Amino acid sequence: MKCFTKLRFLLFAVLLLSLFASSCKTDTPPLSVSTPAESYDYKVFKSWTDKFLELDRYAKGNRPGTGPRALAYLGLSAYECVVPGMPDNNSLAITYYGLNMPKADPNLEYYWPACVNESYAFLMKKFFFQMATEYASLYQGIDHLRDVNHNQYATETTPEILARSEAFGKSIAEAIYQWEQQDVAGHNAFLNPQPVDYQPPAGAGLWQPTWPDYGAAVFPYWGEVRRFAMRETDLLAKAPAPYDESPLSSFYGQAVETYQTVNNIVANGPGAYEARWKAEFWSDDILGLTFGPPPRLAAIANQVVEKENLNLARCAELYAKLGMAMSDAGVSIWKSKYYYNVERPISYIRRVVAQQYPEAANWKSLLNNPISGTTGITPAFPAYPSGHSGFGGAGGKILSSFFEYNAEHPGGYTFTDLCHQGRTEFLGTPRTFTSFSEMAIEDAYSRIPLGVHFRMDCEEGLRLGELAAHRVLELPWKK
């Protein structure tokens, strides 16, 4: 009898344990039956980033802040398309208010590259629709690339799986775009980059439109655009050096540094070739000549991704983080630019430095437009802090987090930037770097020999960019 009682107790205990295990399972989403995203290669991400760079080169109003903002939404959407096939990763949908994300069915199979392809195809047309008429062939290239990838995937999976995957990718993109439209300050801002209602404040040391074209302020309200990770307390840059016309002041000294650096290049003085090379290599300022400065970091990412043969899952993280970090850096920097309204070196040098150096009255930057023939250009927004520096800092830190100081690369990462190989309109000869930090710093300080920034602009821009990347890396990407 005792044995029978013990047996009943054991059977009851087993039943309780099985019920407990069953209840625990309901709290954990079942694993997808699909092939994991890490089993696929990088090619769909590279192909769409290459297409973005093609369009960005000619897209009016797409620089500087709107380009990285588009990359952020494109990257986030592609990540959400793939995350059901990334068992160690979280969806970020819960992080953002108002973002309602469709769910993949874990009991059905998806072909993840097709999800990504459809997402990019849908959103690229939304972010570049202004090009549909003037650059029709480039714009039609969006559909062409989508079809090329679709036809390849049709040979690699079944029609049913392909149709389901494409429908899921498009549904994610539609949800992302619906959420994007809620950001009133950023949505379609490329249609009005220089709003006529903005009048810059007047006063000693404050920015005003600069020689030679006196262009109106570009994106003066960009500081109100939605952020992905930076906190409200992160946004405003540290105060710049106080405005001062004394030759003994820090402000004056920085102006003279820019003035003399450019003069040395023009005179072909010591180190002139290297300084000009850096200035022109990183410029990317001219519409129609190259892609913009922020997408330059995506172009570098493409080179490294191909070299390292990164898988689809890692690409999904990389391109999302890169776009989001650079977008946040742009918001912070443009908020700070129009808060402090620091004038550009050309204005200060021609007005103040010329009192001691009369020849400075006709000084100009080294930024030239070989398409229009205009020389001595300065970008049409305040100097402090530097946007180039911020984008470089953000991109450099994100790239470092993937390719440096890990099991594959215990130290820094040596690579050669081939972005402008073969260009003849400027010094685009490839440059080699031993770390992404070295790359970011050179990108930042290249603005001094170009003649468009003070040193403090570069220092603070770099800091804000790195902070933006840090905040993005803090998001709950992993379970």
| 89: three-class secondary structure by DSSP | strand
Of the pLDDT bands very low, low, confident and very high (cuts 50, 70, 90), residue 33 is confident
Q: Distances in Å between the alpha carbon of 231 and those of 74, 227, 332, 453, 472? A: 22, 8, 10, 26, 11
The mean pLDDT value for 26-50 works out to: 83
The answer to whether the CB of 56 falls within 8 A of the CB of 440 is no
pLDDT digits 0-9 by tens, 238-249:
999 999 999 999
| 429: three-class secondary structure by DSSP | coil
Of the pLDDT bands very low, low, confident and very high (cuts 50, 70, 90), residue 32 is confident
Q: What per-residue string of b and e applies to 77-87 under the rule 16 or more CB within 10 Å gives b?
A: bbbbbbbbbbe
* All domains in the chain, ordered by first residue: 37-473 (1.10.606.20)
Q: Give the model's pLDDT for residue 29.
A: 45
pLDDT digits 0-9 by tens, 195-215:
999 999 999 999 999 999 999
Is the pLDDT assigned to residue 27 strictly greater than 80?
no
pLDDT digits 0-9 by tens, 311-351:
999 999 999 999 999 999 999 999 999 999 999 999 999 99
Q: What per-residue string of b and e applies to 128-167 under the rule 16 or more CB within 10 Å gives b?
A: bebbeeebeebbebbeebbeebeeebeeebeeebbebbbe
Q: Can you list the pairs that 7-15 forms with residues at least 24 positions away whose Cβ atoms lie under 8 Å?
A: none
Give the span between the Cα atoms of 82 and 113, in whole angstroms. Answer: 8
Is the pLDDT assigned to residue 26 strictly greater than 90?
no
CA 441-74-40 angle, 5° bins: 95
Of the pLDDT bands very low, low, confident and very high (cuts 50, 70, 90), residue 407 is confident
What percentage of the chain has pLDDT greater than the value 70? 94
Is the pLDDT assigned to residue 8 strictly greater than 60?
no
pLDDT digits 0-9 by tens, 133-146:
999 999 999 999 99
In the numeric block, the tokens 């049709």 are attached to: 154
Is the pLDDT assigned to residue 10 strictly greater than 90?
no
Is the pLDDT assigned to residue 7 strictly greater than 50?
no
Helices (runs of H) and strands (runs of E) counted in the chain: 15, 2
CA 400-403-406 angle, 5° bins: 100
Give CA torsion, residues 143, 149, 155, 161, to 10 deg: -80
Tally the C-alpha atoms within 13 A of residue 313's C-alpha that lie toward its C-beta. Answer: 16
Of the pLDDT bands very low, low, confident and very high (cuts 50, 70, 90), residue 31 is low
Give the span between the Cα atoms of 136 and 143, in whole angstroms. Answer: 11
Q: Give the model's pLDDT for residue 110.
A: 98
Strand partners, 385: none
pLDDT digits 0-9 by tens, 59-116:
999 999 999 999 999 999 999 999 999 999 999 999 999 999 999 999 999 999 999 9
pLDDT digits 0-9 by tens, 445-477:
999 999 999 999 999 999 999 999 999 999 999
Is the pLDDT assigned to residue 125 strictly greater than 50?
yes
Q: Which of 5-19, 136-150, 358-372 has the lowest mean pLDDT?
A: 5-19
9: part of which helix (H) or strand (E)? helix 2-25
- Residue with the bigger pLDDT between 252 and 29: it is 252
Give the span between the Cα atoms of 236 and 223, in whole angstroms. Answer: 9
Q: Give the model's pLDDT for residue 71.
A: 98
pLDDT digits 0-9 by tens, 255-297:
999 999 999 999 999 999 999 999 999 999 999 999 999 999 9
Per DSSP, the residues of 310-326 read: --HHHHHHHHHHHHHHH
Tell me the whole-structure pTM to 2 decimals.
0.93
